Amino acid sequence: MGKSIAGVGPVELADHGLARAFQLIQIFPKLTVEETIAAAVVSRQRKRWRLFSRLSADGEVSGRVREVADIFGLGHRLDTVATTLSQGEKKLLDVASAFALDPQVILLDEPTSGVSSADKHGIMKTLIAAAELARVKGIVLVEHDMDLVAAYSHRIIALSEGQVVADLPPDRFFADPHLIETVIGKRRGH
């Protein structure tokens, strides 16, 4: 969006419209789903409250929390403590917190790592649907699972040893055997 974000901290990044979720889940283990999402909503709205007892009294916050939870299929889990969620639900909660910041662009670092193969596409479909509902302009996805890259990317920027080796649409990227070997490290003869 024409601005350098080098060295910018998370609060200022959110002010610029960028949110991020990391490969390793960053959730508050003892908070409920509702409290976790509310922490992001409140920080974005620059509100403060004393303990979570006042959360339910703030209709604007609780409405936004329910909206975000529903987008991620967590609406029925609002009272659930984060540590008791499945790994896939924890991932969704982590990303939901980032979405609660109302970003224009969201950076997702391997959002399906540690999740069973069967759940990966479900999580990606949820993320794409959530981005559309939230009117997110773009998702920057750091991903090593080439099946997911092929299925969900509109543009692939591939790096090798810190250098950009490709910036292509998926069909052109996957049509280049030399590029695939360079980026993915496919063994010769296989």
**Number of CB atoms found within 10 A of residue 109's CB:** 14
Q: What is the pLDDT of residue 173?
A: 94
Q: What is the pLDDT of residue 45?
A: 60
Reported CATH class of domain 10-153: alpha beta
Q: What is the pLDDT of residue 135?
A: 83
CA distances from residue 148 to 111, 130, 152, 186 in whole angstroms, order as listed: 11, 17, 6, 17
pTM: 0.73
Give the integer Cα–Cα distance in Å for 50 and 97. Answer: 20
Give the integer Cα–Cα distance in Å for 21 and 91. Answer: 9
Of 131, 105, 96, 97, nearest in space to 16 by CA: 105
Q: What is the pLDDT of residue 23?
A: 60
Give the integer Cα–Cα distance in Å for 61 and 72. Answer: 17
Of 71, 62, 67, 75, nearest in space to 33 by CA: 75
pLDDT per residue of the chain (190 residues) written in tens, 0 to 9? 787 888 888 778 877 788 777 665 667 788 999 999 988 888 766 544 444 545 555 677 888 899 999 988 899 999 999 999 988 888 889 888 888 888 899 888 888 887 777 788 888 888 888 888 888 889 998 888 888 999 999 999 998 888 899 999 999 999 999 888 888 775 444 4
Q: What is the DSSP code (8-state) at residue 121?
A: H
Which sequence spans correspond to the domains of the chain? 10-153
Give the integer Cα–Cα distance in Å for 126 and 120. Answer: 10
